[in-house]
Amino acid sequence: MSSSLDALNQWVAGVATLTKPERIQWCDGSDAEYRQLVDGMLTTGDLIALNPTTHPRSYLHRSNPSDVARVEHLTFVCTPREADAGPNNHWMDPAQAHAKVDALFDGAMQGRTMYVIPYCMGPIDSPIARCGVEITDSPYVVANMRIMTRMGAAALARIERDGSFVRGLHSTGDLDPDKRFIMHFPEELSIKSIGSGYGGNALLGKKCHALRIASHQARREGWLAEHMLIVGVEDPRGETHYIAAAFPSACGKTNLAMLIPTGGYAKDGWKVWTVGDDICWMTPGDDGRLWAINPEAGFFGVAPGTGANTNPNALATLAHDTIYTNVALTSDNQPWWEGLDDRVPAVDWQGRPYDKANGPAAHPNARFTVSARQCPSYTDKAEAAHGVPISAIVFGGRRPSLVPLVFEARDWTHGVLVGAAMGSETTAAATGAVGVMRRDSMAMKPFCGYNFADYFSHWLSFDKPGAKLPKIFHVNWFRKDTDGKFMWPGYGENLRVLEWIIRRVEGTARGIDTPIGTLPAPGGINVEGLALGQAAERALFEVDTEGWATEMTDIASYLDGFGDRLPRALRDEQQRMAAALANTAPRAWAQAV
């Protein structure tokens, strides 16, 4: 037996001694195993079978009402030195964290099955992929991990070959919010999560491994683990550019990843290919470009807001073999959520007869789990061992004012600052207030497994001789007018912006240099057929220098929070932008654009 498998067996035995399960099941990822898990959950009521005619082999899971989203205030990065976790993370001393959580794990699996899940994040044969093992007492977690990862015997064989793996221990415990912790030990490549069954807290291959632990691995090994979709855009000439885009949760990543060309774009032959909708691992190739894989095998997407007008590809993806969480039901047992259609549901997400006085029928963070291969825009490039080459990196968040529809960073360092300074309104994907503007650097605020200052330095380190780095852009689909309505139609029309981005990459689109970056020249964005109105079109492409001067002051204060570890180049870039804005007449660029 290899040393890695020996270490795995010893770890499993130790966990069993601590948690005291009734039985242990090593998961092989087979169809038969999945059916057995589903049948068991149907018997216990953990799953509800949906209408077999409209949604074959699809099921509903209802989580505890106190357990419906990520719990950032209970999520810890446990490094020996607090400074290494950084001000962007909640920190706990590793010894203290182990002691606290192990006391809760003591006997936590009594009367339950302990499942051992070997899994691979990324294509099994990809050198970019990394493996892990999750131990859990939740069959719901096992079923979801089978959809979201490459799970089972092949992953176990790779673990034996690689000689290392990320260790993830999970138990739902008694779902007591006061006994809920998600602990990360980056230097140990381990995770311990207890007291939650929600996906982001319990599917440990996802945010916990693929971002918090992997970001630490990536820094050490010279690559990037990012909260980004990967989408391929094929133009009428048959040339495909791959774009990685970072948006905070519930800000439209899945919609953009599954975009369908509209109107003239469809007629002209534009095509969009989905590689991934949430996580992107990028590594420098021999050619100097960044090559990326989607480490996931499925989508764990937000259901509310997904409809025929917003994401028809997602609806087609969800037609069968899907696990839904916290959605409502119609009278004939079909899943329903706000934004799906105009039907009135019969039962809300908590299993109560629907009454609008109780709030939304589906929880705002209701989810679907489904294989990526079911997506009509899925590309087999998602299984390419070497990944896909990234032409552009796009940052964006929910900004109702100030930030233009799109602008390009002048170089890599400026682009890193653009990503570091990114702000967005909070959404229902995490507990806490919704609609509060906060800085969410690279959309990684909840997910970076180490000090953001060191993370920014790591990003800057990729700009070296011979590198052919992607151009960096920022977009804002969420600009609002004085009536609070969105100015830009979004969804499929976002291809108009992607076209300009691609043409900038190719060097064929003109832009106007401004203190915040390069904006499209007049006519640079195709707005033919859109009823934008002159005022909206002007606002979408203006640079309010006074507003941006205030923004740069806020950014400076944000960067100050990282102290002496902040890379000097980022501070210099912020000061360069602030000086450029100070030397520009108010709203001059709005007039120019």
Query: pLDDT above 90 covers what percent of the chain?
Result: 92
For 289-328, how does the pLDDT look when each residue is reduced to its tens digit (9 = 90+)?
999 999 999 999 999 999 999 999 999 999 999 999 999 9
CA distance 548 to 582: 10
In terms of Cα–Cα distance, which of 500, 479, 492, 486 is closest to 408? 500
185, two tokens: 């030990």
CA distance 362 to 366: 6
The helix-helix angle for 94-105 and 3-19 (nearest 10°) equals 60
In terms of Cα–Cα distance, which of 68, 67, 69, 49 is closest to 59? 49
CA distance 203 to 278: 14
Burial degree of 395 (CB within 10 A; 0-12, 13-18, 19+): buried
For 28-84, how does the pLDDT look when each residue is reduced to its tens digit (9 = 90+)?
999 999 999 999 999 999 999 999 999 999 999 999 999 998 898 999 999 999 999
Query: pLDDT above 70 covers what percent of the chain?
Result: 97
What is the pLDDT at residue 140?
A: 98
Contact present, 72 and 180 (Cβ < 8 Å): no
Active site residue 131: no
Burial degree of 236 (CB within 10 A; 0-12, 13-18, 19+): exposed
Alpha carbon of residue 434 to chain centroid? 18
pLDDT band at residue 195 using 50, 70 and 90 as cut-offs: very high
What is the pLDDT at residue 428?
A: 58
Q: Is the pLDDT of residue 188 over 90?
A: yes
In terms of Cα–Cα distance, which of 391, 365, 204 is closest to 295? 204
Q: Name the most confidently modeled range: 160-164, 368-372, 420-424, 583-587.
A: 368-372
CA distance 262 to 285: 34
For 456-509, how does the pLDDT look when each residue is reduced to its tens digit (9 = 90+)?
999 999 999 999 999 999 999 999 999 999 999 999 999 999 999 999 999 999
Residue ranges of domains in the chain, CATH in brackets: 3-43+72-222 (3.40.449.10), 226-297+380-592 (3.90.228.20), 299-374 (2.170.8.10)
Q: Is the pLDDT of residue 430 over 60?
A: no
Catalytic residue among 78, 120, 131, 251: 251
SS3 of 299, please?
Answer: strand
Mean pLDDT of the chain: 95
Question: What is the pTM assigned to this prediction?
Answer: 0.96
Q: Is the pLDDT of residue 592 over 70?
A: no
CA distance 264 to 207: 38
In terms of Cα–Cα distance, which of 242, 266, 269, 268 is closest to 256? 242
The span from the first CA to the last CA of the chain, in angstroms, equals: 67
What is the pLDDT at residue 584?
A: 83
What's the average model confidence in pLDDT over 220-249? Answer: 96
**Residues in the chain, how many?**
593
For 125-152, how does the pLDDT look when each residue is reduced to its tens digit (9 = 90+)?
999 999 999 999 999 999 999 999 999 9
CA distance 518 to 538: 16
What's the average model confidence in pLDDT over 150-155? Answer: 96
| Residue at 421: amino acid letter | A
What is the pLDDT at residue 4?
A: 86
For 496-554, how does the pLDDT look when each residue is reduced to its tens digit (9 = 90+)?
999 999 999 999 999 999 999 999 999 999 999 998 988 898 999 999 999 999 999 99
Q: Is the pLDDT of residue 426 over 80?
A: no
CA distance 58 to 48: 9
Q: What angle do CA 485, 488, 494 make, to 5 degrees?
A: 145
What is the pLDDT at residue 533?
A: 87
What is the pLDDT at residue 230?
A: 98
In terms of Cα–Cα distance, which of 546, 552, 555, 525 is closest to 590? 546
DSSP for 127-180, written as a single string: TT-EEEEEEES-HHHHHHHHHHSEESHHHHHHHHHHS--EEEEEE-TT--GGG-
Name the helix (H) or strand (E) containing 226: strand 224-226
What's the average model confidence in pLDDT over 323-341? Answer: 98
CA distance 326 to 60: 7
